[in-house]
Structure 1
């Protein structure tokens, strides 16, 4: 019988930090549109919006880590695969379908009723029912692919080298898309939306798989080399911040001065920032877990538990909040957007927490793994 692997509390804190970034992206997007680029505050909004783009790759990293950590030691047979897909259907596909329908209906008043069924089906199958739902479309692609990846991990060579294999596949796709796919006119639209395809994030997923496979060995290796650990941690933070600041700088130059960076340089920078963000979030979470009873650790832990629900609900909060007119000038403009962020986070968090705590059917909306419970392994 396979021994359950130990629970990793840092994962929940990583989820919390990633969902805070997701809400930041969505709550500052309108501000960038409405604010003049000549404003002295424009750079601040660019930073808040663009530095937070690590959120989606971070969630994909978390998914790759947790799935691999929980399944890599299990026998790969029909029962394991059936259990895996059953859990994904209840924990992800069902909530995704429900919220896709709800958001479609939220927008449906702008479309003739006769067109609803085919439009909804098309949007459901491509993650386009609402702007944020493309992420679930990407995650479901990984779920479909994951048993095949587990089969590949039976090879010791693949287990050792999966990190660079994934990076190579992602970059191979980048160049294939740049040189060939982007020029094709008769292909389905989804193939031209690279941000909605799993392969665009495969490097982060593969690095997470490698870390999950070798997690205990990595911890032991650094524990035996304290000097290396003391140097590695600040280096990781420095590389994260430098790549993040440079990424924001490139975006700022393009948005304000129309001086857009070379696509390859921009993509390299974003890739390094994405990978280092996941590592930095784990390190930050590890520091917080040295005092698990501290207020911030408990607060982020609760946000992490509710992160799936916050992800689904917060765009609806933003939708209705934006019925409030934006103040034209002055400090009230910034107060408006600060309150937009807080409203999206707190209302979505409150709704999720209340439903999870008080209703047995919460799993229909937020999946069974979202409910707070003690486990002996990382929550898949």
Structure 2
């Protein structure tokens, strides 16, 4: 099959999203640590809000790449799924087993341990960040089934039709994020469904579908999408900034100082209407940022960010473990700094360690494949039996 050209800014966008994920989780470590002040809470709340675009952007990229690749041809079902299993699920498994082994209860029976391990692998609960892999893999499973519908809809929609469709689906999605509890109540007790809309609703593909739809539109109409972004860049960036400031105010408003300081960031939870509005607005703003970066950053800086983007998936899998090391380093050697500065230090250390781990794993995998290939090529041919 003929390959389509790569989209220049995507590796930069992936790098942005990966770094934002690491920053979120570094903030999660220090936001409630002893010694955190009101000033730290306000600053960390702002940084957390700035980093929340990560998950929507990753989903957007998936939809964009798939629809850009298959915008004129059918999806070969088995080769498509085989590649996604190889590229997404197989790298996930050893990390999930590692995290489950670290966090698991080793005093239970071997059979119970295996059962718990299977549940954690299937649900993405082996570590706090693995939910995303389980959620996004649902898009890959559904895409071959929905691809034909996407192409037929695309053929029938005019430019204005696409605009009204995206607006309508966006409003539907925002409303849907406010009904998670109600839907969970309706499906409670239904075998195989209740848990999907209840306990595991935070990794239910339904509650993230709109970001994929936006990516699908961008992939099918790449030049038009970029043209629209550039034409309305002031409006899109301005809207995003206003929404950020509005949400930041709401976050700080919910802090309590009496009888003691209480910091909480519930306003930044992904699946809720007000946050959905912010996240939808973050996609064009961050894509514009990636375009501007690609056009204006130095070649060395672009290469640096592209390297991060190219390793982003395995680095994402590794970063929860690397964050443990990063926070230990920050706490032991930078204990004199306030929690905000230690957060930024741990973020930088964790990012570097995660990308380094991903690069090492890729290099080891390549070496193992070369050794296996050399071994197979040097193996003696089997003798044919003479009659």
TM-score (norm 1): 0.81
**CA separation in 1, counterparts of 2:314 and 2:207?**
25
* Residue 51 of structure 1: how far off its partner (Å): 2.4
* Residue 214 of structure 1: how far off its partner (Å): 1.3
- Aligned with residue 353 of structure 1, among 359, 363, 375: 359
**CA separation in 1, counterparts of 2:223 and 2:342?**
46
* Residue 325 of structure 1: how far off its partner (Å): 8.8
- Aligned with residue 341 of structure 1, among 343, 347, 357: 347
**CA separation in 1, counterparts of 2:181 and 2:155?**
28
Q: Is the 8 A contact 1:313 1:348 kept in 2?
A: yes
Q: Is the 8 A contact 1:13 1:304 kept in 2?
A: yes
**CA separation in 1, counterparts of 2:344 and 2:319?**
15
Distance 1:233 1:210, change over 3 A: same
Residue in structure 2 matched with residue 374 of structure 1 by the alignment: none
Q: Give the 3-state SS of the residue equivalent to 2:51 in structure 1.
A: helix
CA RMSD of aligned residues (A): 3.2
Q: Is the 8 A contact 2:120 2:126 kept in 1?
A: yes
Residue in structure 1 matched with residue 294 of structure 2 by the alignment: 289
Residue 132 (structure 2) pairs with residue 135 (structure 1) = yes
**CA separation in 2, counterparts of 1:314 and 1:90?**
21
* Residue 178 of structure 1: how far off its partner (Å): 4.0
Gaps of 5+ in 2: 370-387
Residue in structure 2 matched with residue 301 of structure 1 by the alignment: 306
Structure showing greater Rg: 2
Structure 1, residues 33-63: CA drift from partner, whole Å, max 9, x if none? 1156753222001112232121111111111
Distance 1:118 1:46, change over 3 A: same
Structure 1, residues 82-110: CA drift from partner, whole Å, max 9, x if none? 11101111000111122111111121255
**CA separation in 2, counterparts of 1:315 and 1:262?**
23
Question: Would you say how many aligned residue pairs link Structure 1 and Structure 2?
Answer: 351
Distance 1:41 1:147, change over 3 A: same
Residue in structure 2 matched with residue 66 of structure 1 by the alignment: 65
Q: Is the 8 A contact 1:318 1:340 kept in 2?
A: yes
Distance 1:28 1:171, change over 3 A: closer
Residue in structure 2 matched with residue 51 of structure 1 by the alignment: 50
Q: Is the 8 A contact 1:36 1:42 kept in 2?
A: no
**CA separation in 1, counterparts of 2:265 and 2:84?**
40
Distance 1:69 1:325, change over 3 A: closer
Q: Give the 3-state SS of the residue equivalent to 2:95 in structure 1.
A: helix
Distance 1:330 1:246, change over 3 A: farther
**CA separation in 1, counterparts of 2:108 and 2:133?**
27
Q: Is the 8 A contact 1:173 1:200 kept in 2?
A: yes
TM-score (norm 2): 0.80
Q: Is the 8 A contact 2:268 2:275 kept in 1?
A: no
**CA separation in 1, counterparts of 2:4 and 2:127?**
37
Q: Is the 8 A contact 1:326 1:333 kept in 2?
A: no
Residue in structure 1 matched with residue 184 of structure 2 by the alignment: 181
Gaps of 5+ in 1: 223-227, 364-380
